[in-house]
Structure 1
Amino acid sequence: MNDEEEYVGVGRPPTGRRQVWIKLLWIGVWLAFMSAPVKDLADGHHTPWGTALGVLGLLVFVGAYLVLVFRHTSKALDRRVVQSSIAFLGALAITLFLTLGTAWLVLFVYVAVSVGATLPLRTARWLIPAVVAVLVLLGLTDDHPREIITALVFPSLLGGFAMTGVRQMIRTTIQLREARATVAQLAANEERLRLARDLHDLLGHSLSLITLKSELAGRMLPDHPEQAAAQVADIERVSRQALGDVRGAVTGYRRPTLPGELAGARTALAAAGITADIPAVAPEDLPEKPEEVLAWALREAVTNVVRHSGARHCTVTLGPRQTLDGKVLELTVADDGVGASGTEPGNGLTGITERLATVDGTLIAPAGNSRSGSGKGFTLTLTVPLGSGLGSTE
């Protein structure tokens, strides 16, 4: 049995019989003050009817007190129910005191505790002293021992205000638990978004390349079986790489690099029959996160060129640039195609924008983040900030 099963969590309702008894023990610890009215009933100072009514009144009072505090700390009750219950406890305490004597003044301690445990601080901070004032006024109305009245004032004030602190702690714990659950949900949503974005980039690129090579192999098969076999071998290699990338995306252990994506871009564009102008090397000593973001962006941009542009030529530039805000690494992917028209950004550009936001990068694309169909081509420019001394190509 672990700690969470054995002990009742603060602000959490009990989930088992053991936890119910533990919580009842903590709430009922205040019942030690009941020794005075119990002794008064046991001494036989009252008539049989008075004793019987005193026992019944005491049982009703204790039951109402336990139900109010126990239920309210487990699950907040309606405000009118709480107010009515406290009013009932106060009226019963006054009735039992006026009927049975000084020993029953102790019931006002429980009324004060109930106020502190169930009402907001702005109400409890004046109602607790009011309950204590009623205790004192009733005690002074007759020839009651002054030391008993004095002895009950401090427990009433201390118990009532101590329970306001306990109540606030319970409310804060509940809020923290809800906040923690919300954070966990947001983290899970973010991870699902990351996985969906990564799988889109991975499979979109790989499946596009597999489709192109499959079509090419089909055209070569009748007359050039050797070249078709080479394309099939490439398809197998790309498929294995895609499988590895997907496994890496699921486990969170893969990280694309710019050199790898530049090489992959050359292969994909060549397979699509697009003339490519791509840097031979990438800048060295790049920060890990900006490099990863640009690598993903390059993969997505090249995939879009292959699938949608209808271009004959594609140019990729990559290098550091000094701006007024500091040094940045700039990636540009430009083609001379027309591609598909549209007015809303696709999943790819949305994913690029989200990744750039994590490194304070920027994205510049044609209006609407779509291809115009005008034949003027499409240019995508991305920048990520760099620290001094980074991005050297030497």
Structure 2
Amino acid sequence: MTEDPRSEEEVRAERLVRIGRPPRNRAEVIRKLVWVLPWLVFLGSPVGDLASGHHTTWATAAGWAGLLVFVGTYLAVVFRTMGRPYAGGTIVALVAVLWVLGLVLALCFGSAWLGVFVYVSVTCGVTLPLTTAYWTIPLTTAAMMLAGWAADDLDDAWGLFLVVLLVGYSMTGVRQLVRTTVELRKARATVAQLAANEERLRLARDLHDLLGHSLSLITLKSELAGRMLPDHPDKAAQQVADIEQVSRQALVDVREAVTGYRRPRLADELAGAQIALTAAGVTADLPVEPDLAHLPEDSESALAWALREAVTNVVRHSGAQRCVVELVRRQTLDGPMLELSVEDNGSGGSGKGPGNGLSGLTERLEKVGGSLEAARVKHGFRLVARVPADAQVSSADVGSPA
């Protein structure tokens, strides 16, 4: 079975956003019913009152009809609000129907029906504009108190006072929370799109700067060599040699540029590690915001490769259930070092391909003046990669003779 590779935070945010959207499948219908149906507990008193036989046949029939209309209107309004809401005028009319019907039922049948005002308050908080909901909710509470006074049962009314008042305002809070979550997700998607566009523009600009001059020069010399070829083959040969030199230099520049774009970033690798470990069913504990200030690019790249290799080993070979990644700055005799630790509770193991195992990783770290330690521990396997955390230290280590 394929597991959801997203983080728990993203899954929770997605579920929260889905509260305000129509159900897509049976499971979401059940979740929404579980969200809505418990509120019907306040109908217990009206149903018990009608079933008690204290009213005449016509009054009981009218009570059941009024209760069914009330509940049907409430559910229709709430479920439509989760999907495609009614127009503003229709919403106001339906809320008014609930409000009047609840007041009439409570006045006619007594204090057992005061609980219907809970649904009126919920409907005001969920459907009406916030500025309108802020005054209709206390108005609904006041109407409930009036019905309790008319039924000569203020004790029950006071018992429901805070419930009716607070449940309405809590619904306005849920609405704002859902709206904020939706806006944040849209903003995050927009930021990601803008970042991708900026990266594409930077790549296009850099390639233009790298190749524009070289290609123009190649074109010019090619035309010149073509004109010289019949009468001055020796000069044409010199132009061809120049073209070859310019082409080789352009190729070197492009390779360097592409290498820079392919340079792994530690923050990206941490995000990728979280996704990979979660997808593999491994409980991951990773640093959220690593301190990478003043870290040389080569050191960051080496640590990123170390993290990628370690996580790959955990996912493919270790059989672990938990993996802990730590990133710590340490002061050593060789200067400040940044230490990456990856520890799991599995059986260990490493890749066997050339350049992909621990030997290749050791060489990569040593190039930037770092080191690698990998060994079994009491309950699993631990890999520790260290790199210089200071550009001056890194340059000194790389440039020193062996």
Q: TM-score, normalised by structure 1?
A: 0.56
Determine the structure 2 residue equivalent to 1:90: 99
Correspondences of 1:218-297 after superposition (within 5 Å): 218-242=226-250, 245-246=253-254, 253=261
Are the aligned partners of 1:72 and 1:118 in contact in 2 as well (CA < 8 Å)?
Answer: yes
Determine the structure 1 residue equivalent to 2:55: 46
Determine the structure 2 residue equivalent to 1:67: 76
Determine the structure 1 residue equivalent to 2:197: 189
**Structure 1 residues 223, 172: CA separation in 2 closer, same or farther (over 3 Å shift)?**
same
Counterpart selection for 1:8 from 6, 15, 33: 15
Residues 1:24 and 2:43 aligned together: no
Question: Following TM superposition, by how much is the alpha carbon of 1:208 offset from its aligned partner in structure 2, in angstroms?
Answer: 0.0
Task: Work out the CA distance in 2 between the residues paired with 1:190 and 1:106.
Answer: 57
**Structure 1 residues 254, 124: CA separation in 2 closer, same or farther (over 3 Å shift)?**
closer
Correspondences of 1:226-375 after superposition (within 5 Å): 226-242=234-250, 245-246=253-254, 253=261
Q: Say which SS state the counterpart of residue 253 (structure 1) adopts.
A: helix
Task: Work out the CA distance in 2 between the residues paired with 1:52 and 1:236.
Answer: 98
Task: Work out the CA distance in 2 between the residues paired with 1:173 and 1:76.
Answer: 19
Are the aligned partners of 1:8 and 1:23 in contact in 2 as well (CA < 8 Å)?
Answer: no
Deviations 1:362-391 (CA, angstroms, capped at 9, x unpaired): xxxxxxxxxxxxxxxxxxxxxxxxxxxxxx
Task: Work out the CA distance in 1 between the residues paired with 2:104 and 2:260.
Answer: 70
Question: Following TM superposition, by how much is the alpha carbon of 1:30 offset from its aligned partner in structure 2, in angstroms?
Answer: 1.8
2:118 maps to a residue whose letter is V
Task: Work out the CA distance in 2 between the residues paired with 1:77 and 1:193.
Answer: 44
Determine the structure 2 residue equivalent to 1:369: none
Determine the structure 2 residue equivalent to 1:371: none
Q: Say which SS state the counterpart of residue 44 (structure 1) adopts.
A: coil
Determine the structure 1 residue equivalent to 2:166: 158
Counterpart selection for 2:120 from 111, 127, 135: 111
Task: Work out the CA distance in 1 between the residues paired with 2:259 and 2:108.
Answer: 74
Counterpart selection for 1:174 from 151, 172, 182: 182
**Structure 1 residues 179, 251: CA separation in 2 closer, same or farther (over 3 Å shift)?**
farther
Q: Say which SS state the counterpart of residue 163 (structure 1) adopts.
A: helix
> Can you give the 5+ residue segments of structure 2 that lack an aligned partner in the other structure?
264-295, 297-402
Q: Say which SS state the counterpart of residue 9 (structure 1) adopts.
A: helix
Task: Work out the CA distance in 2 between the residues paired with 1:108 and 1:204.
Answer: 74
Aligned length: 256
Task: Work out the CA distance in 2 between the residues paired with 1:95 and 1:175.
Answer: 41
2:95 maps to a residue whose letter is I
Question: Following TM superposition, by how much is the alpha carbon of 1:251 offset from its aligned partner in structure 2, in angstroms?
Answer: 7.1
Deviations 1:56-90 (CA, angstroms, capped at 9, x unpaired): 33233223223323332455653323222211111
Task: Work out the CA distance in 2 between the residues paired with 1:250 and 1:83.
Answer: 60
Question: Following TM superposition, by how much is the alpha carbon of 1:134 offset from its aligned partner in structure 2, in angstroms?
Answer: 0.8
Are the aligned partners of 2:145 and 2:154 in contact in 1 as well (CA < 8 Å)?
Answer: no
Task: Work out the CA distance in 2 between the residues paired with 1:94 and 1:204.
Answer: 79
RMSD over aligned Cα atoms: 3.2
Are the aligned partners of 1:221 and 1:228 in contact in 2 as well (CA < 8 Å)?
Answer: yes
Determine the structure 2 residue equivalent to 1:210: 218
Question: Following TM superposition, by how much is the alpha carbon of 1:254 offset from its aligned partner in structure 2, in angstroms?
Answer: 8.2
Are the aligned partners of 2:137 and 2:165 in contact in 1 as well (CA < 8 Å)?
Answer: yes
Question: Following TM superposition, by how much is the alpha carbon of 1:186 offset from its aligned partner in structure 2, in angstroms?
Answer: 2.3
Determine the structure 1 residue equivalent to 2:347: none
- Paired-residue identity, %: 59
Determine the structure 1 residue equivalent to 2:141: 132
2:201 maps to a residue whose letter is L
> Can you give the 5+ residue segments of structure 1 that lack an aligned partner in the other structure?
256-287, 289-394
**Structure 1 residues 165, 232: CA separation in 2 closer, same or farther (over 3 Å shift)?**
same
Greater radius of gyration (CA): 1
Q: Say which SS state the counterpart of residue 24 (structure 2) adopts.
A: coil
Q: Say which SS state the counterpart of residue 193 (structure 2) adopts.
A: helix
Q: Say which SS state the counterpart of residue 124 (structure 1) adopts.
A: helix
Task: Work out the CA distance in 2 between the residues paired with 1:160 and 1:147.
Answer: 21
Most deviating of 72-81 and 149-158 = 72-81
